[in-house]
Amino acid sequence: MNPPQNYPPPQYSPANQFPPQNSPYGQYPYMAEDPDQIRARWRLPRRTHPLSPLIRLAPLLIVIFIILIPNTNARQNTASGSPGFTFLSILPVFITPLIIALGGFITWRFRKFWIENGELRISTIFITKDTKHVKLNRIQAVDISEPLTARLFKLAVVRITVAGSARSKIVLAFLRIDEAHDLRTALLLPSPGSDPMASIIAQMPEVPLIAIKGSELIGSTLCRIAPYFALLTVIIITIIASTGVIQVFAFLPFLLFYAAVLASKQYSMWSEFKLGTVPGAFRLTHGLLTLNHETILFNRVQAIRVEQPLVWRPFGWYRVKVNVAGLGDLKSQNMMQTVLFPVGSLSQAFAAIHALLPDLDLARVDMNYPPRRAAWRAPWWSGATCVGSTPTAVLIRRGRMKRQIDIMRMDKVQSIRITCGPWESLLGIGSLAIDSTPGPVKCIARWRDLGEARLLAEHITIMARQARIQKNAQ
Amino acid sequence: MVDAFSSPADRPWQGVSPRLKTLRVFRLAPLVTLPWWLVSAFAWNASPILRIALVLLGFIAFGITFFLIVQNYKSWGFVERDEDLWVMHGRFFKKLVVVPYGRMQVVDLNAGPMERALGIAKVKLHTAAATTDAVIVGLENAEASKLRDRMTALGEAMAAGL
């Protein structure tokens, strides 16, 4: 994984030319519109879009029709003595969606939200009164996604992540797409105590960095599945050859179906992928059926990993993952946010890293390998593991089959550990781990010479402190 | 050659309370000795030599455990520096953790019933990383609470944010 020829890439302008100096809105130089006007639009209590309850019901209705239509036909055709298709028998099929629709209608009718006194207020007054106040400066992220059914009506879902409650996101479904973006701007307007970057980022047009071609996405997805199929074929052939049981082919359709589901899921999640930068953040747009807009603040990115599974090597594809602070539990919804981009070339990967860490010159990092005696502990892997450090980051490269490089930001180092077991102790080697927040990237330099690991640990301690001080001074 | 697990420049490792040994002995001794002794006590049909051997085995197991407990007790050490805390422990599986005060989010102080009876406590430092795992066990109560207060104060003073 050596840096490509054209590295470092030409400067991506936004970070340098920001903020523009002569703007009519004084303290908000980046605003295209008067912030007070934006706020004023959201001052009055309002409901979500009137179609919301219906759209929420849509998937259920589709399922019901799919079940109901063939069944009614079947019953009418059995012209025997049994009553068959009666009002009573299909009653539950209508009542369930009705109840759900009623619930949805009540939620829509009695739930109102508005922005007042630096708070987003959501009140539901139906039998009981329930008001939720969310301080705007506690809002960490506002993500907009457009599920298929909502997209047909040009509607979108707004998801609001609030600091301190990683588990509960506030969901406002559904708003018109332009309204959703406007609400996002209003929520992220600078207020005392809020992260000023967040509002800047909400306003800026993005500079495109990476767009993934459909062919690349399909190819990379197929490549991921191919080895398993090869293995499966070998197993099936072995079984047939040794026992003569042809019936094992019966499993094939299921497996094919399963693989197709997995592949299409991957495909629909990541197709139309675009990665852009705004000053201080990545902006991701992706999805075939559900269109997702995500924003990953540079400031919250703790560590980056560039990885390449073995099967991708002939094609020169790479994937980039990140550890993002405050994602809390890494469940499905959040899992997306740990992938910075699903497949791309090395120069694209390096461009993304360059956007995040402009000071890091990957071409000029001295990488150190473990001592030769480490081969007694890990004969195959130790020769492929190396570590290097710069004032901005610690780099760890490892893996022979699946190759990866982990980049830990110096100013985000949480703690440093040296560990060493009995066998390693005899060999005088140990592991140096640089702890980061939970996520896919784990920075562990294994099988280092113990003395060197200690010196490196002390070095990182000092560098990390300096990086933190610099960061705080900014 | 640098000793990877030596204390940071000019500051010796600060040890923990010797009562940690007592705690561990009380906790582990029954586990390692009683099974042998019980077998010995209830094996009426076995030869007396075997029964005595089992009793001796119990003592040997206790001896080994005691040796390990002492080794482990000696291995614990921590150093409070100006900006970070160093914690080291383990003799066979060694571990050294460096936690900057600015990264500490929560400092836990806890003591179970046995620890309370002995007047010792455990201090655990949490950072935003789940893997940090910086624990100091067997601190005298007074020392533990002072350490906790110092850590909390320093953590607030130097808080670096995520």
Which of A433, A395, A342, A309 has the alpha carbon at shortest distance from A3?
A395
3-state SS, residue B47: coil
Give chain B's largest Cα–Cα span. 69
Closest approach of chain B CAs to the CA of A135, in angstroms?
19
What are the boundaries of each domain within chain B?
19-72, 78-158
SS3 B82: coil
Per domain, the residue ranges of chain A are 19-75+90-203, 365-474
Q: What is the CATH number of domain A365-474?
A: 2.30.29.30
- Residue in chain A closest to B92 (alpha carbons) equals A422
The reply to whether residue B132 touches residue A437, judged by beta carbons under 8 angstroms, is no
DSSP state of A405: E
pLDDT tens, residue by residue, A405-452: 999 999 999 999 999 999 999 999 999 999 998 888 999 999 999 999
Gap between the Cα atoms of A417 and A378, Å rounded: 20
Residue A19, preceding bond cis, omega within 30 degrees? yes
Please tell me the least confidently modeled range out of A26-35, A256-265, A432-441, B109-118. Answer: A26-35
Determine how many CB atoms are found less than 10 A away from the CB of residue A15.
Answer: 15
pLDDT of res. A428: 93
Name residue A43's amino acid: R
Could you say which of B3, B4, B97 has the minimum Cβ distance to residue A415?
Answer: B97
Q: Between chains, do A451 and B160 touch, taking CB under 8 Å as contact?
A: no
Average pLDDT on A332-359 reads: 82
Q: Average pLDDT in the A92-98 region?
A: 77
List the one residue out of A268, A263, A272, A262 whose CA is nearest residue A213: A272
Question: Order of strands across the sheet with A111-116?
Answer: A111-116, A119-126, A128-135
Q: For the residues of A148-190, what is the DSSP string, one character each?
A: HHHHHTTEEEEEEEETT-SS-EEEEEEEEHHHHHHHHHHHTS-
pLDDT for the residue numbered A18: 42
Share in percent of chain A as helix, strand, coil (round to 5): 45, 25, 30
Residue pLDDT, tens place only, A244-257: 777 777 777 888 88
Among A21-25, B114-118, B134-138, the minimum mean pLDDT is found in: A21-25
Lowest mean pLDDT among A22-31, A386-395, B89-98: A22-31
Spacing of C-alpha A43 from chain mean position: 32
C-beta atoms surrounding A159 within 10 Å: 17
Q: How does pLDDT run across A295-317, given as a tens digit for each residue?
A: 888 888 999 999 999 999 999 99
Q: Is A421 on the interface with B (CB under 8 A)?
A: yes
A350 CB-contact burial (10 Å; exposed 0-12 / middle 13-18 / buried 19+): buried
Cβ pair A123, A112 in contact under 8 A: yes
Closest CA to A48 of A163, A153, A166, A134: A153
Q: Give the Cα separation of B55 and B40 in Å (integer).
A: 6
Supply the DSSP string of A316-357, one letter for each residue.
T-EEEEEEETT--S--HHHHGGGEEEEEE-HHHHHHHHHHH-
Chain A neighbors of B1, CB-CB under 8 A: 451
Judge: B131–A435 Cβ closer than 8 Å, yes or no.
yes
| B128:A457 CB<8 A | no
Residues A58-79: tens digit of each pLDDT? 877 787 777 766 665 555 555 4
State the pLDDT confidence band at A471, using cuts at 50, 70 and 90: confident
Judge whether A417 is closer than 8 Å to chain B, CB to CB. yes
- Average pLDDT in the B112-125 region? 92
CA atoms of A458 and A449, how far apart (whole Å)? 14
Q: Which residues of A64-76 are buried (b: 16+ CB within 10 A; e: fewer)?
A: beeeeeeeeeebe
> How high is the ipTM of this complex?
0.90
Q: Which two tokens stand for residue A56?
A: 């929420």
Interface of B with A (CB under 8 A): 1-6, 8, 83-84, 92-100, 102-103, 127-134, 160-162
Amino acid at A135: K
The residue among A435, A441, A458 with the most chain B CBs within 10 A of its CB, best to mutate, is A435
Categorize the per-residue pLDDT at A237 as very low, low, confident or very high, splitting at 50, 70 and 90.
Answer: confident
Neighbours of A309 (CB within 10 A): 18
What whole-number distance in Å separates Cα of residue A415 and Cα of residue A410?
11
Closest CA to B136 of B102, B110, B159: B110
What are the start-end ranges of the E strands in A241-317? 274-278, 281-286, 291-297, 301-308
* Of residues A195 and A331, more confidently modeled: A195
List of chain B residues whose C-beta atoms are within 8 Å of the C-beta of residue A416: 97-98
pLDDT above 70 for A36: yes
Q: What percent of chain A has pLDDT over 70?
A: 81
CB A295 within 8 A of CB A201: yes
Report how far residue A324's alpha carbon sits from residue A279's, in angstroms, rounded to the nearest whole number: 17
- Give the minimum alpha-carbon distance from B14 to chain A in angstroms, rounded to a whole number: 18
Which of A415, A422, A438 is opposite residue B103, by nearest beta carbon? A415
Say yes or no: A433 contacts chain B, CB-CB below 8 A.
yes
CB contact under 8 A, B95 and A458: no
pLDDT for residue A162 is more than 70? yes
Q: How far is CA A57 from CA A65, A101, A109, A140, A141, in A?
A: 12, 7, 16, 30, 27
Please say if the pLDDT value at position B27 is more than 50.
Answer: yes
A6 to chain B, minimum CA–CA distance in Å? 33
Placement of tokens 């051997």 in the chain: B53
The tokens 């040296």 sit on which residue? A418
Task: Give the one of A417, A435, A471 whose C-beta lies nearest to B96's C-beta.
Answer: A417
CA distance to partner chain B, nearest, from residue A21 (Å): 29
In angstroms, the CA A466 to CA A472 distance is 10
pLDDT tens-digit map of A215-234: 888 888 888 888 888 888 88
Cis peptide before A113 (omega within 30 of 0): no
pLDDT at A456 over 90: yes
Closest chain A C-alpha to B58 CA, distance in angstroms: 26
- Torsion sign over Cα A230, A231, A233, A237: positive
Q: Which residue has the tokens 């309850």?
A: A53
Dihedral through CA A406, CA A407, CA A412, CA A418, nearest 10? 50
